[in-house]
Amino acid sequence: MKFPHLRRSVVLGTVGAISMMGLAACGSDAPPETDPDAVASDAQAQCEELYEASQDVPESGNETFVFAAASDPAMLNPFFASDGETFRVARQIFEGLVDTKPCSADPAPGLATEWTGTDDGLSYTFQLEEGVKFHDGTDFNADAVCSNFEYWYNQPKGPAQSEDVTYYWISLFKGFAGGDTESVYDSCEASSDTEVTINLTQPFAGFVPAMSLPAFSMQSPTALEKYGKVADGEDPTTTEYALKRPTGTGPYQFDSWNRGKEVRLTAFEDYRGEPARSTTMVIPTIADPGAKREALINGEIDGFDLVAPADIAALEEANMQIVNRPAFNILYLGMNQKTEPLDDPLVRQAIAHAIDKQAVVDQTLPPGSEVANQFVPPIINGYSEDVTEYEYDPEKAKELLAEAGAEDLTLEFNYPVDISRPYMPSPEDTFNLIRTQLEEVGITIKPVADQWTPDYLEKIQGTSGHGIHLLGWTGDYNDTDNFLGVFFGRESNEWGFDNPDIFDAIAEARQLPTPEEQKPVYEDINETVMEFLPGVPIAHPVPSFAFDPAIEGFYPSPVSGESFASVVVTE
């Protein structure tokens, strides 16, 4: 029982949730009352406790720490990745100029110790840590930073300039050298070994937090030049660098990657900070959630994440530790306004009033998940305290439907099957409950289930004939545009509305030079969006980790930026 405070609160939450599912008869004690507000801050409080505890654990334990991943990394050069499993490996090997504060999405010093931006938002100067080495023994300095920016900006034409390969560069910095779209990046100047200035062509308030994304990790220019060069038209993800030679400054260095089986990392002896506490980290690939659960209980692995809510009880019974990642996501019910009568605000309001979000959270999401009242999580810049709320009121829902002349409403309700997302661990359960709630106010539901990819996403995002649907989003870094811009930045098949006021407001907010200036604007946008009600924000679910009882020193990160260097396998 290594996380005493954590275990108690998680168990209480679990008992609370299970009791509400009508299973209380199985237990002997009456369940405690769960206060939604108290539960809401649990994951955050637990994270902070774990962070404190991680500072005070034994310096070393067993040699090897084994953490299972759901899939292989796509490859090992994080610049070409946008998936969580590649980033998980990258977070151990690489570091960015900027890191995130423990248990927060806010920027913190990484390889840069401090930074300043000019008032016009067009230039940022970073002071770099001294004496840092890449794993190949070369120096990390201002020239290396410029080499990285120039490497990103000068990607060859072809696959390297396609969204499936350089997603983050394209979505944040827009264009490449010599391309049709002007890039947000302009130039890089190294004024000394430890001072570097990045110039932009237009203000980008999210620039500093974006530098905490693993895609923009600092990589050894020498190794990239030697093993990672590609010509126009060639695939940059299959170079020797991307498959066998990832070279960063992180606490772990790459050892081997046996495709489909595992990635092995070893502690980097010359690491600038406290060295990794386990000398070897192995990340085996185990796709099946049930197989991961059994492997953990059987002692074959030390931990895994995205635990299915249904597995939590079994894991706790086997004395495993459950750790929740603070929510940095949103689960929502989308409404397609191309499908009548969803274009009628009264009908959308009726649907919002018909849904008992607290029940959805309690019965279908992991303990500690929070009810949502807008499309961004509370810890993000521009979260508004004054949005229009649509409390659970089935009678009011019926009245609104009558007022809209939609008493006999029939709706297609799309939901995905056989998938677990951090923001939607068991979509079938969530669907079933919301369906029941909607039917209670007289709406007839036509359920439509699809496989997640490509069928479900194709239908929701690629076609316009659907009705209401379940979907969500996990934030990549602390930038409000990473939520609002993704959802409502332009007309889309998913939402089916054309509201230039919202589109323009989001575009303008994106151009503001500082987060301080963006804050009131985003608050306004959140309020406008919730008045317009394109969908119903349901919850901010907390994704869960499970660990062997012998694991100490771990703490989660809201933006999935967990470093495992602090983890010790005791015994």
Partner 1 sequence: MLRFVVRRLGLMVPTLFGLSVLLFFWVRVLPGDPCRSLLGQRATPEGIARCNEVYGFDKPILEQYVTYVGALMRGDFGSSIDLHEPVLDAFLNKLPATIEVSAVALLFAIVLGVPLGYYAGRHQGGWWDTTIVSGSLLGVTIPVFFLAILLKYLFARQLGLLPTQGRQDARLDVEHPTNFYVLDGIITGNFDAFWDASLHLILPGLALGTIPLAIIVRITRASVSEVVHEDYVRTAEAKGLTSGTINRRHVLRNALLPVVTTIGLQLGLLLSGAVLTETVFNIDGVGQYLYAAIGVRDYPVLQGFILFIALMYSVINLLVDLSYGLIDPRVRAS
| 455 scored as a contact of partner 1 (CB under 8 A) | yes
What DSSP letter does each residue of 412-452 carry, written as one string? EEEEEES--BTTBS-HHHHHHHHHHHHHHTT-EEEEEEEEI
User: Which sign, positive or negative, has the C-alpha torsion 315, 317, 320, 325?
Assistant: positive
Q: Pick between residue 182 and residue 455 the one whose CB is nearest to partner 1.
A: 455
State the minimum distance, in angstroms, from the CB of residue 3 to partner 1: 23
Q: Is 319 exposed, middle or buried (0-12, 13-18, 19+ CB in 10 A)?
A: exposed
Site string for partner 1, 223-242 (x = CB under 8 A): ------------x-xx----
28 vs 298 by CB, closer to partner 1? 298
Q: Is 260 in the site for partner 1 (CB under 8 A)?
A: yes
CB under 8 A: which stretch of 6-14, 74-82, 131-139, 349-357 binds partner 1? 74-82
Question: Which range, of 106-114, 296-304, 400-408, 500-508, touches partner 1 by CB under 8 A?
Answer: 296-304
Alpha-carbon distance of 513 to 478, in angstroms, equals 15
Handedness of CA 286, 315, 281, 273 (dihedral sign): positive
CA 372, CA 357: separation in Å to the nearest integer? 8
Select the residue interacting with partner 1 from 41, 54, 171, 187 (CB under 8 A).
171
Check binding of 503 to partner 1 (CB under 8 A): no
Residue closest to 334 by CA, chosen among 352, 346, 350, 357: 352
Residues 74, 86: contact at Cβ < 8 Å?
yes
Residue with tokens 């989003």: 473
Question: Rounded to the nearest 5 degrees, what angle is found at the Cα of 84, between the Cα atoms of 492 and 518?
Answer: 55
465 lies in the binding site for partner 1 (CB under 8 A): no
64 binds partner 1 (CB under 8 A): yes
Query: What whole-number distance in Å separates Cα of residue 153 and Cα of residue 475?
Result: 24
* Contact pattern from residue 144 through residue 163 relative to partner 1, giving x for each residue in contact according to CB under 8 A and a dash for the rest: --------------xx-xxx
Backbone angles phi, psi at 115, to 5 degrees: -155, 155
Q: Given candidates 192, 436, 451, 514, which one binds partner 1 under the rule CB under 8 A?
A: 451
Query: In angstroms, what is the minimal distance from the CB of 179 to partner 1?
Result: 11
Strands 544-547 and 303-305: antiparallel
Rule CB under 8 A: is residue 300 a binding residue for partner 1?
Answer: yes
Per the CB < 8 A criterion, the answer to whether 272 and 139 are in contact is: no
Q: Which stretch binds partner 1 (CB under 8 A): 117-125, 164-172, 379-387, 545-553?
A: 164-172
Contact map string, positions 361 to 400, toward partner 1, x by CB under 8 A: ----------------------------------------
Q: Based on CB atoms, which residue is closest to partner 1, 64 or 319? A: 64
**Interface residues toward partner 1, by CB under 8 A:** 64, 66, 71-72, 74-75, 82, 158-159, 161-164, 167, 170-171, 235, 237-238, 258-262, 264, 280, 282, 284-288, 290-291, 294-295, 297-298, 300-301, 451, 453-455, 457-458, 461-462, 471, 473
